[in-house]
Amino acid sequence: MKQDMQSTTETPLPKWLQLSDDGFRISLKYPTELSGVTVDTLMMRAPCVRDVRAAQAASNGDAEQREMSLFASLTQTPEADLMGLKMVDYLRLQAGYFRLVTDE
């Protein structure tokens, strides 16, 4: 009888991502100006249900706008500044967020 073996090792965090009890910090590949200050890291706190509902209400059903509103709230960064991130850094932000909302 063949048994299925599941890997018990966790995927290590990328070196640009540091998780904490309150959220995470990402190192940006491309330093950028956020809220008038050039930064090379960005903090995001873990969302609560209220955050997600507020972003949903503000988005009028637009999934991209919902995510942008949510990320702006969680990072305390204006949406316009987040839209100026290089794509690789925005993808890092998304990856961090999905780690925060996954129960692993």
What confidence tens digit (pLDDT) does each residue in 46-90 have? 999 999 999 999 999 999 999 999 999 999 999 999 999 999 999
pTM of the model: 0.84
The pLDDT score that the predictor gives to residue 4 is 46
HSE-up (13 A, CA, CB side) for residue 102: 8
- Give the start-to-end residue ranges of the domains of the chain: 17-100
- The least confident of 28-32, 93-97, 100-104 is 100-104
Token pair of 40, please?
A: 């090379």
Average of pLDDT values for 3-19? 71
HSE-up (13 A, CA, CB side) for residue 19: 14
The pLDDT score that the predictor gives to residue 95 is 94
Q: For 58-79, give one letter per residue: b (16+ CB within 10 A) or e.
A: ebeeeeeebbbbbbbbbbebee
Please determine, for residue 36, whether its predicted confidence score (pLDDT) is greater than 60: yes
As beta bridge partners, residue 32 has 39
